[in-house]
Amino acid sequence: MKVVIIDDERLAREELRSLLRVAPDVEIVGEAANATEAIALLERVTPDVLFLDIEMPGRTGFDLLAALPKSPREVVFVTAYDSFALRAFSVNALDYLMKPVRPERLTETLERLRQRLATASPAALPAEPPVTPLGEDDQFFLRDGDRCWFVPVRSILLIEAEGSHSRVHLADGKPLLHRSLAAMEARLPTSIFLRANRSQLVNRLSIAHVEPWFSGGLKAILKNGVSLEFSRRQAQALRENLGL
């Protein structure tokens, strides 16, 4: 059973690590102190279980789950607050442990995990649920090399396909994401993002002006000076979106 511990309190991580090490079938494959560290870690390791704190600086445990491109197999929340229990189970958490964690209570949780993981062979696992759509006022996690940060969804100007990856245009940079343009389109709010053509997804709020183009298309100039062409079909969608 591969486990990742995510908690901003060092002593809480140490206590849980000590309790888990008693179980011979548990392997702790990583730890993180916040959501940003956790997302970077989960790009490198694939645990069976997340032991996840809720109240953390910057981003909560719920925010972290929403930011992950792929849902973890099992989640066990570990928190000092009982007020989040209903919300925890609404995101399909397997269990909800209160701090300080009692050894006998953790034993019950581990037994439930063993049963769940034993009966859910890879072939029998349910289809992966769709990623959580983002709203206009949400933030999006980006990673470019060693740099990891959150950006407001509205600040994304343009996204371009580069093979199976996507180039994200921001006011201060163009990081490359290891996700397809189709995956990005499924995640971003359709209220402000729309296809310009097969290889470009644009934020309509970043468009400075448009002008007629060949074969019934449109040419759009963004606020950062970048120009892009809307195909005839997508030009009609843009006209409707902008009320032209």
- CA 242 – CA 244 distance, rounded (Å): 6
How many Cβ atoms sit within 10 Å of the Cβ of residue 158?
A: 22
Domain-located, residue 205 = yes
Same domain? 108 vs 143: no
CATH code of 90's domain: 3.40.50.2300
Same domain? 76 vs 30: yes
* Per-residue pLDDT tens digits of the chain, which is 244 residues long: 999 999 999 999 999 999 999 898 999 999 999 999 999 999 899 999 999 999 999 999 988 988 887 778 899 999 998 888 777 767 778 899 999 999 999 999 999 899 888 875 444 444 444 456 788 998 888 877 667 788 899 999 999 988 778 899 998 889 988 888 888 888 899 889 998 888 889 999 999 988 887 777 888 899 888 888 887 778 887 888 776 6
Compute, in degrees rounded to 10, the torsion defined by CA atoms 164, 64, 173, 155: 100
User: Domain range for residue 100?
Assistant: 2-124
pTM: 0.52
Asked if 195 and 201 count as a contact pair (C-beta separation under 8 A), the reply is yes
Q: Under DSSP, is residue 138 helix (H, G, I), strand (E, B) or coil?
A: coil
Domain boundary among 63, 98, 124: 124
Q: What is the pLDDT of residue 99?
A: 93
Domain-located, residue 132 = no
- CA 65 – CA 182 distance, rounded (Å): 21
Q: Which secondary-structure segment (H or E) carries 110?
A: helix 103-119
Domain boundary among 101, 124, 147: 124
Same domain? 173 vs 119: no
Asked if 140 and 153 count as a contact pair (C-beta separation under 8 A), the reply is yes
Domain boundary among 90, 124, 158: 124
Domain-located, residue 134 = no
- Helix 10-20 and helix 103-119, axial crossing angle in degrees, nearest 10: 70
Compute, in degrees rounded to 10, the torsion defined by CA atoms 92, 20, 31, 34: 50
Same domain? 81 vs 176: no
